Amino acid sequence: MPTSPETSFPLRRVFLAGVLPGLLLFIGTVIFATAQTVRSATTEVLLQLASAKVDAIAREIAATAPTAWDELQAGRPLAAAELTVLGKTLAREQRETQVALLKIYSADRRTWFSSDGTEIGLVEDNPQLLDAVAHGVSSVAVETDGNGNNSYELYIPYRLDDGRVAAVFELYEPIAGFEALLWRIVRPVLVIPVALFAVMLVALTWLVWRAQADIDRRTGTILALRQRVERLVSHSAVAAIRSGGAEPPKAEMVDLTLLYSDVRGFTGFAEKRPPSEVVDFLNRIIGLQVEIIEAHGGDVDKMIGDAVLARFHGPGKAASAIQAARAIQAAVRASQLPRGVGIGIFSGLAMAGLIGSGTRLDYTIVGDSVNIAARLCAAAGAGEIVVDDGTASLVAGQALPPEETLRVKGRTGAVKVRRLVFGAGQAQ
């Protein structure tokens, strides 16, 4: 039966006024979103590639011009000789990385290096550079030269290990017809291709999201496991294993100050109390010592029952060890724990490396210095610190008690020591 205008008109009006505008809006939105997604993805890829180039350039500078690299990280200008060496290095890197133009700014926005030598020493204040220096944010801008050629202007901050921005690299990359290519891709998109692309994009996004969630979960599990394992060994062991790569870390002779502490009267204490109470006590007194040792720059090498062996490295190691020992005795006394600790401190050489064989290894320190530190600890009563005279004399301004002479088991000569006493020991 023929359809009258009255009955068909509302359908056309609904279609024209409702469905068609909505469909066109949908298509336009999808096209716009697709273009923005492509642009955003391209920008991200550009930044990642630029960051990789910056890392390669930084490594090359550090390897071939270490003095210049140190000057940049310290924020100091370069001497003429350093600038010449740096210029050769960067010219080579510029060719290898195919960067059209390269600039390096120091943290105070001063042009530290530029392919255009006349710009060296000038201070820049454009927003992208300010943002990169202040917040460590990478960015991309479009620069047009005098001939009308467009290039990507990328600002990539370079961070130090502590998170500070030491320099900002500015790289120029030719666009090379990217905008025209993007337009040719987006322009012919029609309803079905757009719909299929949208479905594929949603499906791909969902799959990537799921995959990323699974990767994050697995990575989190691995990191948590690694952190739990690292808590079972010293920081020095972790550092040595990480630096060794695929090969086990080699044993080395190190000069350090050793702190050896032991709970006095622990055997009698453990004999009269249930295991749970003994473990709780050990957790408290050893946890207290570990926290103080690490706060003073020391590293706990091992915990042997109720004893703790810690090592201090570098300049001021003797002062740090004595300060840590004083803090431990003060904290133990203030905590009103049922037993006190005796502490021995000795400075000397020790061999650090892997001990053991087969499937069981331990990264630790061994040697005469370790044995003497343990003997000095054995000679210390609760609330006492026994320090060899050589270590005590390294601490400037230290008010020292009278010198004593100790006969150490297994050693032919006597050891001159100083005994620091902290009031009455804990209840025995």
Give the per-residue pLDDT at 2.
45
- For the stretch 293-336, pLDDT in tens is 999 999 898 888 899 999 998 888 999 999 999 999 999 999 88
Q: Positive or negative, the Cα torsion across 257, 288, 285, 231?
A: negative
* d(C-alpha 335, C-alpha 324), whole Å: 16
- The tens digit of pLDDT for each residue in 119-147 reads 878 888 888 888 888 888 888 887 776 67
What's the predicted TM-score (pTM) here? 0.47
Q: Is 208 left (phi over 0), alpha (psi -120 to 50) or beta?
A: alpha
Question: How much is the pLDDT for 414?
Answer: 83
Most confident of the ranges 19-33, 66-80, 401-415: 401-415
Asked whether 154 and 105 are in contact (CB, 8 A), the reply is no
Backbone angles phi, psi at 399, to 5 degrees: -80, 110
Which among 118-127, 244-253, 328-337, 395-404 has the top mean pLDDT?
328-337
Quick one: average pLDDT of 231-252? 60
Strands 341-357 and 384-388: parallel
At residue 235, the pLDDT reads 59
Query: What is residue 204's predicted lDDT score, i.e. its pLDDT?
Result: 45
Confidence band for 287, pLDDT divided at 50, 70 and 90: very high
Least confident of 91-100, 177-186, 240-249: 177-186
Q: Residue 225's pLDDT is what?
A: 63
